[in-house]
Amino acid sequence: MPRPRGLRRIRFSPLVTYYKPQGVPLRTLRVVELTPEEMEALRLKNVVGLKQQQAAKEMKTSQSTFQRILKSAHTKLSAALVEGCAIRIQNETRS
């Protein structure tokens, strides 16, 4: 049985939840989903400009967990951009 997931602080809820390549119908695209945790990690690290330790404290998680979340987000975004996939942002937020 896996260990229960800890609650993470998420202070961002995007207004737009889908991105897709221009001129391609959404129904023909593979969709890559980003979790609220991944969006918050991307925001704290790349937009706000926090270091990983600071960002991990903001999310109330360990630095190693923050790194795993950030790596997952980067992998998903990179694959979506390279392969021309749609990106869906889940909007179920917790504080």
The CA–CA distances, whole Å, from 88 to 3, 7, 38, 71, 85 equal 27, 22, 12, 17, 10
- The reported pLDDT for the residue numbered 5 is 66
pTM, entire model: 0.82
The 10 Å CB-count burial string (b at 16+, else e) for 15-28 is: eeeebbbeeeeeee
Would you kindly state where each structural domain of the chain is located, as residue ranges? Answer: 19-89
pLDDT in tens, the chain (95 residues): 666 666 677 777 778 889 999 999 999 999 999 999 999 999 999 999 999 999 999 999 999 999 999 999 999 999 999 999 999 999 864 44
Q: Does domain 19-89 have CATH number 3.40.50.2300?
A: no
- The DSSP string of 19-56 is E--TTS-GGGS-EEEE-HHHHHHHIIIIII---HHHHH
- The reported pLDDT for the residue numbered 11 is 73
- The reported pLDDT for the residue numbered 2 is 67
